[in-house]
Amino acid sequence: MPRLENKVVLLSGGASGIGAETARQVVREGGKAVLADRDETRGRALADELGAAAHFVPLDVTQEASWQAAVAATVETFGALHGLLNAAGIGVRNSIEDCTLEEYRRVNDVNSLGTFLGCKTAIPAMKDAGGGSIVNISSVLGLRGAAYAMAYCASKGAVRTLTKNVALHCAQMKYNIRCNSVHPGYIDTPMIAPRLEQSDGNRSGRQSLEDMHPLGRLGRADEVASMILFLLSDESTFSTGSEFVCDGGLTA
Ligand X SMILES: NC(=O)c1ccc[n+]([C@@H]2O[C@H](COP(=O)([O-])OP(=O)(O)OC[C@H]3O[C@@H](n4cnc5c(N)ncnc54)[C@H](O)[C@@H]3O)[C@@H](O)[C@H]2O)c1
Catalytically active residues are: 152
- Residue 86 three-state SS: strand
Cα 27 from Cα 51, distance rounded (Å): 9
Q: What is the DSSP letter of 230?
A: H
Is the CB of residue 93 less than 8 Å from the CB of residue 148?
yes
In the list 33, 123, 137, 153, the residue contacting ligand X (rule: CB under 6 A) is 137
Query: Binder to ligand X among 8, 17, 133, 162 (CB under 6 A)?
Result: 17
Rounded Cα gap, residues 91 and 83, in angstroms: 25
Closer of 164 and 220 to ligand X (Cβ): 220
| Residues 212, 196, 88, 157, CA torsion sign | positive
Q: Single out the residue of 9, 11, 31, 62 in contact with ligand X (rule: CB under 6 A).
A: 62
Quick note: the x/- pattern for ligand X over 170-199, rule CB under 6 A, is: --------------x-xx-xxxx-------
Cα atoms in the Cβ-side hemisphere of radius 13 Å centred on 207:
6
Q: Is residue 244 at the binding interface for ligand X, with CB under 6 A as the rule?
A: no
Closer CB to ligand X, 127 or 217, in the complex: 217
Q: Which chain residues interact with ligand X by CB under 6 A?
A: 12-13, 15-19, 37-39, 59-62, 87-91, 110, 137, 139, 184, 186-187, 189-192
